[in-house]
């Protein structure tokens, strides 16, 4: 059981009227309140440009909790800790008022000068906000100052560096919490336990026993109303640079000496450093990009990416990426890590499939194909693990049949496990940065991704090259089949 330790802090949310704040942050804070991590000594300031009153803001907060209210934890009482400050982040005067309110709440709620700043707004404001927080004295308080920032962390290595330098003027590396909500997911955090608490797994976790590893993050939705953002980003920057490379590093890293933030990050960085750099013509050997065209899903006609709002009708932006990553170290030499992610695919799933090598020979007769052993880690929407094995078909003879050993993860009340955001905010309040990305990880991933993006931006692909509702372009299947494998479905 996790020890329930009350957290004392002022939480300032920049972008307090936005989608992320409403859908994720307020419900997560409420969950922490119902679990006793937040009690009396906390306050939340929501800031944005709109001229809201405290009362109106609190109504919005209560509204965001519809359906998750818990008996004994009055949403109104929770919302009474919330304050609204109309604030233009580019305007210096706004910070003076915000600082006065912060100091006042610090006294009123006895917050010991602990401050968490959550930047839930467009990244082009991050640098300005950080430098104002510094120049206006927000971070000279008695307690801790921590900064949570949302993705995207830059658009390439150069812009990420620039952003990082501007943040570092106000915050130390250990005060910056770069959120990657995949790292807050229960089954992602479970990877370390599955690996390091099971000798039958860890002893096989290498190139002698594993044929290939597959990481799939597929979405059924299209770009929806995020065309403007997506045109600048694409699947490579939006999904591979952060979520997928984070997952790969957790799968590939060596066992840390201890389960501390520093040791785990150190091993993740080493794994990322072992990633084979793919550049120039090799990009076409190791990477496949795709863009969805129109299609019919569940009887509904859907438009292609190029027909979406704010998308160029000749767009060269990829909505799908598949790749073969190689980790050139002793453990993984020769084992491909296939990754794929995309929009408008046939199903919504995040899963990892570890395919083990086959037995040296099939003793059960030529007519019986033995499926390989596969360990599947289901991240979402299902959470759990499945081990695919072969057993004897009951009855006479020695016929084999595949079976699945399943462990489905669900919390005792039948609900899904805590939201990633809830866990990550709690970790940050606790000063635990293990499941946030360190700058070294971010810079190594950009360095890797930039080389692929450079090739793609210089050549035009024959888009669209996959139909909505399929699992991406045919070339993605070839990428795997030419090595003698197939995607695990
Ligand atoms: P949003 O557009 O809904 O909200 C943006 C907020 O910023 C609003 O409150 C707006 O009033 C405020 N704002 C804009 N300009 C301002 C200014 N000059 N001064 C003060 N306030 C200003 O955006 P969102 O969807 O909540 O996303 C916020 C951040 O989180 C983005 O970086 C996004 O990439 C990231 N993110 C969002 C989600 C999500 O589920 N919405 C998921 C992952 C990451």
Determine if residue 382 is labeled as part of a ligand binding site.
no
* CA of 120 relative to ligand 1 center, distance in Å: 5
With 0.85 as the threshold, say if the pTM is over it. yes
31 is catalytic: no
Q: What is the reported pLDDT for 297?
A: 83
Q: Is pLDDT at 87 greater than 60 in this prediction?
A: yes
Determine the average pLDDT of the residues in 255-266.
96
Determine the average pLDDT of the residues in 60-84.
96
Determine the average pLDDT of the residues in 405-419.
65
Whole-number mean pLDDT of the chain? 94
Choosing from 31, 81, 87, 243, the catalytic residue is 243
E strands, 52-132, are 82-86, 115-119
* Range scoring the smallest mean pLDDT among 1-5, 146-150, 173-177: 1-5
Question: How far is it, in rounded angstroms, from Cα 75 to Cα 27?
Answer: 10
Q: What is the reported pLDDT for 418?
A: 67
Q: Phi then psi for 17, rounded to 5 degrees?
A: -100, 5
Instruction: Please tell me which residue, 91 or 252, carries the higher pLDDT value.
Output: 252
Question: How far is it, in rounded angstroms, from Cα 170 to Cα 174?
Answer: 12
Q: What is the reported pLDDT for 414?
A: 39
Determine the average pLDDT of the residues in 334-363.
96
List, for residues 296-331, the tens digit of each pLDDT value.
Answer: 888 889 999 999 999 999 999 999 999 999 999 999
Evaluate: CB of 132 within 6 angstroms of ligand 1: no
Q: Residue of the nearest CA to atom 10 in ligand 1?
A: 15
Determine if residue 298 is labeled as part of a ligand binding site.
no
Domains (range + CATH), the chain: 9-150 (3.40.50.720), 183-428+438-482 (3.30.360.10)
327 in Cβ contact with 271 (< 8 Å): yes
217 in Cβ contact with 341 (< 8 Å): yes
Q: Residue of the nearest CA to atom 22 in ligand 1?
A: 48
217, β-bridge pairs: 341, 350
* CA of 241 relative to ligand 1 center, distance in Å: 21
Q: Which of 358, 319, 349 is nearest to 476 (CA)?
A: 319
Q: Is pLDDT at 134 greater than 70 in this prediction?
A: yes
CB contact set of 476 (below 8 Å; sequence gap of 6+) = 288, 290, 320, 322, 340, 487
Per-residue burial over 180-207, b = 16 or more CB atoms within 10 Å of its CB, e = otherwise: bbbbbbbbbbbbbebeeeeeebeebbee
Q: Is pLDDT at 15 greater than 70 in this prediction?
A: yes
List, for residues 419-441, the tens digit of each pLDDT value.
Answer: 899 999 999 999 999 999 999 99
| pLDDT confidence band for 417 (50 / 70 / 90) | low
Q: Is pLDDT at 416 greater than 50 in this prediction?
A: no
215, β-bridge pairs: 339, 352
Evaluate: CB of 13 within 6 angstroms of ligand 1: no
Q: Is pLDDT at 472 greater than 60 in this prediction?
A: yes
| pLDDT confidence band for 413 (50 / 70 / 90) | very low
Lookup: tokens for 261: 């933030």
Lookup: tokens for 208: 């002698």
Q: What is the reported pLDDT for 397?
A: 87
Q: Which of 14, 46, 29, 43 is nearest to 119 (CA)?
A: 14
Determine if residue 70 is labeled as part of a ligand binding site.
no
Max Cα distance, the chain (Å): 84
Q: Is the peptide bond before 381 cis (omega within 30 degrees of 0)?
A: yes
Q: Is the peptide bond before 152 cis (omega within 30 degrees of 0)?
A: yes
* CA of 125 relative to ligand 1 center, distance in Å: 10
Rounded CA Rg of the chain: 24
Q: What is the reported pLDDT for 370?
A: 87
* CA of 123 relative to ligand 1 center, distance in Å: 9
């Amino acid at each position: 059981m996790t020890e329930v330790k009350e957290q004392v802090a002022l939480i300032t949310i920049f972008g307090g009227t936005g989608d992320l704040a409403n859908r994720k942050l307020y419900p997560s804070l409420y969950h922490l309140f119902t679990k006793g991590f937040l009690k009396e000594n906390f306050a939340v300031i929501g800031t944005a440009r709109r001229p809201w009153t405290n009362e109106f803001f609190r109504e919005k907060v209560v509204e965001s909790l519809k359906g998750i209210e818990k008996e004994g934890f009055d949403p109104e009482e929770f919302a009474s800790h919330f304050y609204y400050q109309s604030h233009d982040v580019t305007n210096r005067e706004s910070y003076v008022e915000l600082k006065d309110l912060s100091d006042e709440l610090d006294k009123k709620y006895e917050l010991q000068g602990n401050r968490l700043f959550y930047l839930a707004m467009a990244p082009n404001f991050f640098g300005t906000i950080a430098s104002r927080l510094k120049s206006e004295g927000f971070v000279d308080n008695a307690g801790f100052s921590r900064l949570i920032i949302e993705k995207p962390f830059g658009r390439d290595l150069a812009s990420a560096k620039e952003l990082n330098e501007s943040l570092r003027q106000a915050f130390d590396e250990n005060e910056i919490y770069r959120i990657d909500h995949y790292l807050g997911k229960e089954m992602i955090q479970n990877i370390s336990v599955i690996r390091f608490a099971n000798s039958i797994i860890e002893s096989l976790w290498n190139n002698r026993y594993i044929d290939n590893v597959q990481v799939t993050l597929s979405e059924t939705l299209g770009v929806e109303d995020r065309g403007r953002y997506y045109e600048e980003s694409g699947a490579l920057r939006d999904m591979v640079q952060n979520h997928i490379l984070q997952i790969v590093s957790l799968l590939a890293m060596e066992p840390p000496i201890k389960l501390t933030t520093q040791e785990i990050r150190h091993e993740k960085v080493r794994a990322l450093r072992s990633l084979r750099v793919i550049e120039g013509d090799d990009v076409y050997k190791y990477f496949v990009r795709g863009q969805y065209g129109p299609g019919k899903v569940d009887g509904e006609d859907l438009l292609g990416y190029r027909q979406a709002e704010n998308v160029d009708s000749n767009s060269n932006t990829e909505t799908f990426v598949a790749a073969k990553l190689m980790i050139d170290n002793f453990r993984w030499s020769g084992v491909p890590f296939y990754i794929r992610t995309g929009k408008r695919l046939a199903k919504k799933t995040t899963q990892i499939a570890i395919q083990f090598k086959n037995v040296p020979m099939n003793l059960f007769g030529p007519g019986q194909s033995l499926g390989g052993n596969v360990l599947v880690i289901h991240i979402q929407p299902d959470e759990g693990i499945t081990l695919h094995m072969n057993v004897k078909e009951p009855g006479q003879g020695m016929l084999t049949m595949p079976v699945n050993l399943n462990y489905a993860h669900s919390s005792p009340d039948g609900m899904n496990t805590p939201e990633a955001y809830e866990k990550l905010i709690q970790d940050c309040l606790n000063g635990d940065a293990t499941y946030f990305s360190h700058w070294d990880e971010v810079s190594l991933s950009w360095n890797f991704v930039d080389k692929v993006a450079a090739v793609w931006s210089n050549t035009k692909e024959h888009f669209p090259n996959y139909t909505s509702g399929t699992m991406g372009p045919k070339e993605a299947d070839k990428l795997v089949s030419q090595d003698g494998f197939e995607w695990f479905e």
